[in-house]
Every structure is written in structure tokens, then in C-alpha cells.
């Protein structure tokens, strides 16, 4: 099975934490049922892009059609169908209700099925969402965001709850033209908050397990947390490099010479995981690992700790800093094989 969903504490409730909740779900099921599942461990992307769906056959399905028709009865008007570039198994249909200043989204996933959100955005930057998504309440919510979940609610109950619970406003008026941008930016705000927090917490993992009635001991919680942290670190490495590629003034010839040998030291690498992280990209001997472990200080800032380690590496393994980025988190970009730069 593949990763199948994302959960957000923001405007569109089910679109942040694909790898987190889905991978944990399958890992928990594997441990519980002793069955082997195949799933992607790729972490949640920090940004997504909506693409108009020119052939939305999924809209003809009964559950999707019923949900959209229900919103029409509450005077929501269509924005249209979209695919998410970074999540090929997920489709969505957007609607707006200008009089009540609300947006609605009907989602269809190949594995999960259909669910819906109603979202309200406020002039002061706050966000409020109600959802009948089957998962999501396990995750923490970023500041200035309020969410209500109940998987038993139908579209009428979602609409009534949104009216009753949204407060006095003032609200932002939604528009069909701005729907894709608003959706993508709300997602990005959630992921920025999660990235800067350092990924999922043990308590979130514990709540996911409890919601599925799975009895995990602390060792298993620790193991699941370590795996999600590894996945988060790798994802941030990839995205920091992508940001570097898009912004660096480095000449093409120099980039071509290092493109296969670069990686990121970023601020969300826990100091106690730095050696394992470095080893996955470089590869060290047991003797080198022993030498570096003696220098590791879990209380030292990650960039300072890396410099200490880099200084004792043999010349053929020393890493050279080639750039910096500030998004999605602060990171320093390094290239290996320092001698190729000096020749």
C-alpha cells in the first residue's frame, strides 16, 4: 500500500502529514497483525500545487456526487476539480459560499474514499475548519487555528456546525480565482510550523496508536518516533537542496561537478542523530564512527557539532560548504570530496 492521506490543523484539515499518519497507520497494522505491507516512507512535502483536473471521472461516483450536491443545496457554488501534483492518489473539488464567507472541499482518495471540510478564514489571520475526515484529530494544531472533527457528520451537520462555531468575524471573503492560492498557502503555513517544530512528536504518535486501539509500549513508540524523525530529516534535506538549486548564483559548470555529492546540515537534525544522518550520505568505517562518537555532545548546537566532526575527517571525506538556505528551515549546503574543488 502507498501513503494515502495528510492531516492539517489548518484551513483544509486533511492535507498535512501524509507520511506521518499514513506510514504510522501501516506500521501499526503491520506490528499488530504480523502482516507485511509495502508503503512509501517519503515525508510530507512542504509545498503542494493544485492542478485543474480536466477529466474528473471521480465526480461521477455516488459518494462524491452526493457530497457536492449537498453543498449546492446550501448555496455553495463550484470552483472546480483539482489534482495535487505532489499527491497523485488524491483529488479534490472546491466550492465557495460568498454569502456566508466559507469554503468547502470534497476530497476523494483512491484508498480512503470521500470526506469533506468547511473552512472559514478571518481577517486577523486565524482559521477555522470543521471536517468529517476519518483521521486527523490525533495531531497538534498550529497557533491561530481551530478545528473540529467528527467523522459521523454529514454535509448538513458540517454546515450547521461551521455557522454555529465560527464566531463573529470579520471573515475573509472567498473567491473562485484565489481558491488554489489560498489552499496552497494554508498548507504551506501548516508545514512551516511543523518543520520548525521538528516534525511529529511522540505524543502525536501515541494518540494515533490509541485512536486505532493499538497497545504500544514505550519502546515501540520510541521506534516509531525515530523512524518518522529520520524520514523528516531526509525530506528537509531534499527540500533545502531544492531551495538552494532555485536560488544559487553558482555557475552551471560548478553545479554539475557537485550535484551528486551535496546534502544539507539543517537545524532540525537532533544532535544525537547527526552521525547516523551523516553516515547515510557519506558512509564511515567503524573506526571513524568511534572517533566521531567521542566528540558528539547532545547539548551542542547542530552546526557547531558538525564543524567539530568535519574537522577530524580525512581529507578525502571532508565536506565543503557551498551555500545556505532559510527555507523550509535554516540549512547549510555541503559538498563532498573537497579535493575536487581545489584541483
User: What was the pLDDT predicted at 279?
Assistant: 85
User: What was the pLDDT predicted at 253?
Assistant: 84
- Does residue 46 lie within any of the structural domains? yes
Instruction: Report the distance separating Cα 313 and Cα 59, nearest Å.
Output: 58
**Mean of the per-residue pLDDT values of the chain:** 80
32 has a pLDDT exceeding 80: no
27 has a pLDDT exceeding 80: no
Choosing from 207, 235, 257, the residue where a domain stops is 207
Average of per-residue pLDDT across 253-265:
86
pLDDT in tens, 182-231: 999 888 888 888 888 877 788 887 887 777 666 777 887 787 778 778 87
Q: How confident is the model at residue 109 (pLDDT cuts 50, 70, 90)?
A: confident
- Does residue 269 lie within any of the structural domains? yes
71 has a pLDDT exceeding 80: yes
- Does residue 51 lie within any of the structural domains? yes
Average of per-residue pLDDT across 80-108:
92
14 has a pLDDT exceeding 70: no
Shared-domain flag, residues 58 and 189? yes
* pTM listed for this prediction: 0.71
Shared-domain flag, residues 188 and 239? no
User: What was the pLDDT predicted at 212?
Assistant: 66
Shared-domain flag, residues 232 and 168? no
Shared-domain flag, residues 316 and 271? yes
Shared-domain flag, residues 194 and 57? yes
Shared-domain flag, residues 176 and 236? no
Q: How confident is the model at residue 342 (pLDDT cuts 50, 70, 90)?
A: very low
Enter the DSSP assignment of 42.
P
Higher pLDDT pick, 45 / 132? 132
The C-alpha cell that represents 69 in the structure block: 450536491
> What one-character-per-residue DSSP string does 160-219 give?
HHHHHHS-S--BPPP-TTTHHHHHHHHHHHHHHHHHHHTS--HHHHHHHHHHTT----HH
> Which residues constitute the domain of residue 127?
18-207
Shared-domain flag, residues 97 and 143? yes
Shared-domain flag, residues 97 and 196? yes
- Of the listed ranges 13-27, 28-42, 181-195, the least confidently predicted one is 28-42
Contacts of 292 (CB under 8 A, 6+ apart): 275, 284, 309, 312
Average of per-residue pLDDT across 251-261:
85
Residue identified by cell 467523522 is 151
- Does residue 84 lie within any of the structural domains? yes
Shared-domain flag, residues 67 and 185? yes
Enter the DSSP assignment of 139.
S
Shared-domain flag, residues 121 and 194? yes
Residue 97 bridge partners (DSSP): 102
- Does residue 9 lie within any of the structural domains? no
Amino acid at each position: 500500500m502507498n501513503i494515502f492521506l495528510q492531516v492539517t490543523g489548518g484551513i483544509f484539515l486533511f492535507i498535512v502529514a501524509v507520511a506521518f499518519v499514513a506510514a504510522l497507520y501501516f506500521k501499526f497494522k503491520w506490528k499488530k497483525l504480523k502482516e507485511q505491507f509495502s508503503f512509501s516512507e517519503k515525508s510530507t512535502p512542504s509545498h503542494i500545487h493544485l492542478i485543474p483536473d480536466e477529466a474528473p471521472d471521480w465526480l461521477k461516483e455516488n459518494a462524491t456526487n452526493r457530497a457536492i450536491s449537498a453543498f449546492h443545496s446550501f448555496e455553495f457554488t463550484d470552483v472546480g476539480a483539482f489534482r495535487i501534483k505532489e499527491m497523485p492518489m488524491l483529488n479534490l473539488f472546491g466550492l465557495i459560499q460568498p454569502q456566508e464567507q466559507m469554503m468547502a472541499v470534497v476530497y476523494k482518495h483512491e484508498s480512503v474514499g470521500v470526506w469533506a471540510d468547511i473552512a472559514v478564514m478571518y481577517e486577523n489571520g486565524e482559521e477555522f475548519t470543521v471536517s468529517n475526515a476519518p483521521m486527523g484529530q490525533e495531531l497538534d494544531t498550529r497557533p491561530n487555528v481551530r478545528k473540529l472533527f467528527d467523522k459521523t457528520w454529514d454535509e448538513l451537520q458540517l454546515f450547521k456546525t461551521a455557522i454555529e462555531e465560527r464566531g463573529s468575524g470579520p471573515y475573509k471573503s472567498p473567491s473562485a480565482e484565489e481558491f488554489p492560492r489560498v489552499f496552497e498557502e494554508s498548507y504551506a503555513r501548516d508545514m512551516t510550523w511543523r518543520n520548525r517544530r521538528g516534525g511529529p512528536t511522540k505524543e502525536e504518535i501515541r494518540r494515533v496508536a490509541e485512536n486505532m486501539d493499538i497497545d504500544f509500549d514505550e519502546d515501540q513508540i520510541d521506534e516509531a518516533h525515530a523512524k518518522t524523525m529520520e524520514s523528516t530529516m531526509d525530506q528537509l534535506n531534499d527540500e533545502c537542496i531544492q531551495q538552494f538549486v532555485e536560488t544559487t548564483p553558482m555557475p552551471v559548470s560548478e553545479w554539475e561537478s557537485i550535484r551528486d555529492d551535496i546534502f544539507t546540515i539543517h537545524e532540525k537534525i537532533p544532535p544525537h542523530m547527526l552521525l547516523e544522518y551523516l553516515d547515510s550520505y557519506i558512509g564511515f568505517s567503524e573506526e571513524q564512527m568511534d572517533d566521531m562518537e567521542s566528540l558528539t555532545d547532545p547539548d551542542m548546537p547542530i552546526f557547531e557539532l558538525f564543524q567539530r566532526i568535519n574537522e577530524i575527517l580525512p581529507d578525502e571525506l571532508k565536506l565543503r560548504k557551498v551555500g545556505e538556505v532559510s527555507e523550509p528551515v535554516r540549512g547549510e549546503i555541503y559538498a563532498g570530496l573537497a579535493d575536487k574543488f581545489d584541483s
